[in-house]
Amino acid sequence: MDNGGRTPVAQYEEQQLPLAEIPRRRTRERLVDKTLEEMSLEQLVGQRFVTWLAGPAPTEKELHLAREGAVGGFIVYPRNVVDRAQVTALTTALQRAALSSAPPVGLLLAADQEGGRVAALRLPDMPQFPPARSWTQHDDPDYVEASSYVINRELASVGINANFAPVLDVYEHGDESIIGDRAFSDTPELVGTLGRAYLAGAERAGVIAVPKHFPGHGSTAVDSHGELPVVLLSREELYDRHLPPFRAAVDSGAPAMMTAHLLLPAVDPRYPATLSQRIITGILREELGFDGVVISDGVAMGAISRNYDVVEAVELSMKAGVDIILVHARYDVDELVEATVELVRQRKIPRDDVEAATRRVLELKARYGLLPPPP
């Protein structure tokens, strides 16, 4: 077929395919309204936390959290994975418990399944993919979309409905960058195009894709798992090189976005991005127009935990505009929910803000079939 000498990337850009619109929006809105009306304050707050699992089978405490609607979801790590049947049993048990709550609300069950060195599930009967950097050798967004579809369809087959991918950081400084080959490219426009293709594949697979790490982690060699990176970019460098892939994702209808734990003094010299109202509300919400769910990177990571008390970090991130706090390790989510409820009762976090954020979470869940219709 004659393509006029255009590359596959150029052809894909010309198609400008939006993510599929999910029908019955009004029905979903009524369902969200009804669910919100029936939720206690503890449940409203609980929806704003995704937490860790102790092992390959759900504990009684984890099932209790699900049954009480006390948590919005769980993240699956390699320690929770034995084989396909076991993962399916794990996710099924958790979802059944959640759907027995009053009101019934399904769980976000998430994983980091990027490919390459970041893949929570490495099952022998599950296709494994190289890191994103190697995907660009094909110069073909259709390849990325197909790869995304396979990765996310495999996750869906074992009950995982959210994938913390794709990485939309721009590949900087070669292998000195902590992101390295997890990024598609060093060209912002190409990262945006391939990220959009990835989102389309995940959408077809029925899995919530969560692009990361906003507003861009590609220029730092410091690992935020251990300490807080300080990124000495100018505002112009941020806007010209690092924000375009995220803008493309927002314009494509990305359902969620994950924040980065890094300090950008040119934008906010005081707070790292996850805790920064200037970055989350000011740039992501207001400038880029993102109206989906904002998810923090893990609050137990050293970039946050070494510099902030965890309750303070939760308060600041919620005030900044983060909807879901990822408690990926270490902390007891029960205690964090209880502490956050107390912050609401003390009016340190406005209840209206809690309800608005929880509405966004429930709208996301309704869109992906996690709010069951009334009997």
Q: Can you state the percent helix, strand and coil of the chain, rounding each to 5?
A: 45, 10, 45
Residues in CB range of 267: below 8 A, 6 or more apart: 215, 235, 238, 276, 278, 279, 283
Does the active-site annotation cover 297? yes
Closest CA to 45 of 361, 372, 366: 361
Instruction: Kindly report each contact of residues 142-147 with a partner whose C-beta sits within 8 Å and lies 24 or more positions away, as own/partner.
Output: 142/8, 142/12, 142/197, 144/184, 144/194, 144/197, 144/198, 144/201, 145/197, 145/198, 145/200, 145/201, 145/204, 146/201, 147/115, 147/198, 147/201
Taken in order 240, 241, 242, 247, the sign of the CA dihedral is: positive
Active-site pick, 64, 186, 223, 225: 225
Does the active-site annotation cover 64? no
In sequence order, what are the beta bridge partners of 108?
A: 73
Active-site pick, 140, 268, 297, 323: 297
Write out the catalytic residue numbers: 225, 297
